[in-house]
Structure 1
Amino acid sequence: MISLLLLDLDGVIVFEVAPPHVKNLELILLHDLLINGLKTLGVPVVVLTHRSRAEAAVILQSAGLQGDVAGLIAAEDILGAAFAYGTPWQVLRKGLRKSWALPAIERRYRIDRKKMAFIDDRLDNIEDLAGNGVGIALHVPSGINDDGSLISFDFEQVVRVLRDWNGDPAPRPLAIAPRIVAQSEWYRTGISTSTLTMSPFNRMRRFGRSLRNLLWKRAAE
């Protein structure tokens, strides 16, 4: 059994749908009764996201999870951890990898990363944390089809996998089966993060990403 769950937001809790599938950018909840599923696990849940703290707060509000998570590790926190545990050159070369935050999470919650689980829809994030010692990593499907249906997953399956885990390090990330959510089944929020995407912090992140890509391009020439 896990001792702490690290949870991504986009593609895991919500999917932010853009036109033409909706009139305006909007967060769609991917799971009904999510709070019940998280409480079933009976462990602290920490959100670990590349979203800014302000964006993450909006998403947690839209999902009704503000008071049900033990902590939030947002992009600003990952950046701070990166400079605390790495050199500026390493940060520029590797970028905001979520694994930078693991030492701080271990210290804050007094739980070894081997007893943590991580859920994300991006394989690079999954491989990053799995490769840095997280006990079990679940790769969940995420996307949108041409007909507007969402590609998601059954959260109850995730709960079963995590409750059945015996604590042995998983040899590889585990892939969760997809579930299609038709537009008629959407849990619409009427909320978006559009007003926050051009914040000063996000502008700085884009500049850093562009600089890193430029350096890699020149190194490859």
Structure 2
Amino acid sequence: MIEKDTYKTIANAAAAILFKEKNSKFFGFAFPVTTEEEIKINLEILRKQHHGAVHFCYAFQLGTEKVTFRANDDGEPSNTAGMPIYGQIQSFGLTNILVVIVRYFGGVKLGVGGLIVAYKTAAQMTLEHAEIIEKTINIQFQINFEYKNMNKVMRVIKEKNLDIISQNLTENCQIRIATRKKNAENIFNIFSTLFEIEIKKL
């Protein structure tokens, strides 16, 4: 089995969409996120922008190998908002994403079934309008070596087209590199066999 080393997410924050149901307005937003801190910030911004709204229901998924997710009904009946939103994140096969549906109550209760459909539809429309992209799962390594071995290291980095994340090139050099997950073992082995060069996975 070939191990998957790509994942799908969204390129940037999606423009708001609007779905109306029995006078209630559901505004849908999607954000690319990689940390729970970013999620908190995006929610706070939306709450400031939409202070007349009653519910800020959302779901997110983070990570590629170890996945964390959460669904929040924000005061709607249990499982009528967060899970339908999360279901759409799953059906689009996305991660590192936050989807928020902001509801302005229109005076007519929708009932449990109506709410589930409304939140699911708003989330689906939001993701259909977002730009979905595929990214590679990258593994980072740190390479430690003396300055005299610089050429050896740089030759491999160039040949294998590795991304340099950061470098500290003093007498004892350190370079952080990133490579696609499927190439990681090969890259590790190449550097491991080089004389006087140490590599470790980050």
Task: Answer yes or no: same fold by TM over 0.5.
Answer: no
Please say which structure displays the higher CA radius of gyration: 2
Q: TM-score w.r.t. structure 1 length?
A: 0.26
